[in-house]
Copies of this chain bind each other. A is one copy, B any other.
Amino acid sequence: MSEIRILNPDTLGKPLGQYSQITRVKASEFLFIAGQVATDKTGNPVGLDDFSRQCEQVFANIEAALASQAATFANVVEFTTYLVHSQDIPQFMQFRRREFPRFFPSGKYPPNTLLIVDRLVQEPFLIEVQTVAAL
């Protein structure tokens, strides 16, 4: 059983969104989840041109990946988020403000690194999130 502490030391700046600066984790078992994009169970893209819908699907996929190993968002130690359009950053912030309190009822949001890249594996995908979790 892991011991996960999500921390915002006051020697560091206030996080610029719904994330924390540090996870300190004592664990002997980890999950590495491939970057999730907005695909349904058949592997087809969903939410074409709909960034908010893609966010929902991506986090639903991460939740399913965690659940398959009897884990929840509380097990997440790190996210890395890749967006294709910097114009979507405000919507991503909004999505987290709206949904993260439900995903993370403790109010402890894991560290996230947000990057704007050229493209993801297929043209329609607007967001991809890579996850590390501890069991």
A residues at B contact (CB < 8 Å):
7, 9-17, 19-37, 39-44, 61, 64-65, 67-69, 77-78, 80, 82, 86, 89, 110-122, 128, 130, 132, 135
In contact, A121 and B11 (Cβ under 8 angstroms): no
Secondary structure of the A contact surface, majority rule: mixed
Q: Which residues of B lie under 8 Å from residue A14 when comparing CB positions?
A: 41-43
Cβ distance A6 to chain B, nearest Cβ, rounded Å: 10
In contact, B41 and A33 (Cβ under 8 angstroms): no
**Chain multiplicity (copies):** 3
Q: Assuming A35-B113, A115-B117, A119-B116, is B29 touching A41 (CB within 8 A)?
A: no
In contact, A17 and B132 (Cβ under 8 angstroms): no
In contact, B43 and A9 (Cβ under 8 angstroms): no
